[in-house]
Amino acid sequence: MTGSVDELLACLDLAPLDDDLFRGQSIQTGWFRVFGGQVLGQALVAASRTVEGSRPPHSLHAYFILGGDPAASIDYAVERIRDGRSFATRRVVAHQHGRAIFAMSASFHSEEEGVSHQIAMPDVPEPEALLDAPALAARAGPSIPKTMRAYLSRATPIELRPVEVQRYMSRAPREPRFHVWFRAGERLPDDPAIHRAVLAYASDLMLLDATLIPHGRTVFDPTIQSASLDHALWFHRPFRADDWLLYVQESPVASGARGFARGSIFTRDGKLVASVAQEGLIRPIGDETAGSP
């Protein structure tokens, strides 16, 4: 994903076409399809703009139906399912070229007080002790595939600092867990809705890749056809997406050419602010089988 933070913010600032209809443009990445996290973030913006009062989103559940065309605009039609006293429900369908490419349901909840608990954040190195993605690509050199090196070297609106960098330099199977620090590359406006949309965008960047760790491969491997199929995201607490966030990822199962991964997102002081789950296509192609390292 190429582009600056300004380009990302412009991408998330949808144009209203009607009360419940919005149009978005894509960041031009040179990739043949639209990045799923972009559609997720834009759909969340569209749904949020139809909810009145102080009701932030607490969950969304989405399906990626067709790959999007990055050269064409995307129209987001919002259906107002329900507006209750505490909760509001919206459904969003994204269209391109007369076809639905994405569908999402989102729920919004008025802020309330209640009991509170959470799991502990794993003990990992601080982001300042780790290489950013371009520095990692430069150090790894030819030990990682050219496509991966090009991806890590690109200027992006989201800064990434992976913890288990050896994962990229070896095809050895490993435990299906991965940690990466991330944040927006520049300071964002203070509007919490922008921070939620940016986190939604970033939540799809690396999660599916965790499903291939036990098989010594990545989504950049030419023997794997990969694509996000669905995505669920829950917001638990306020956060800033321009502060460092730790994305804890694990894949409990893969089967039938599909991999399932889940993630927990923590602030650097240990607050669990969001949870993620995703299933994706990880179809083996070429001569290798899904189980071979």
Active site residues per annotation: 204, 228, 278
Tell me phi and psi for residue 192, to 5 degrees.
-60, -30
CA 44 to centroid of chain Cα atoms: 12
Instruction: Of 197, 160, 140, give the one whose Cα is nearest residue 1.
Output: 160
Cβ 240 vs Cβ 219: under 8 Å? no
C-alpha angle 117-122-127 in degrees, rounded to nearest 5: 120
Q: How do beta strands 74-83 and 21-24 pair?
A: antiparallel
Q: Please state, in angstroms and rounded to a whole number, the distance separating the CA atoms of residues 163 and 246.
A: 10
Q: Please state, in angstroms and rounded to a whole number, the distance separating the CA atoms of residues 88 and 81.
A: 8
Cβ 231 vs Cβ 194: under 8 Å? no
- Which amino acid, 255? S
Q: How far is CA 266 from CA 118, 123, 190, 272, in A?
A: 11, 12, 19, 4
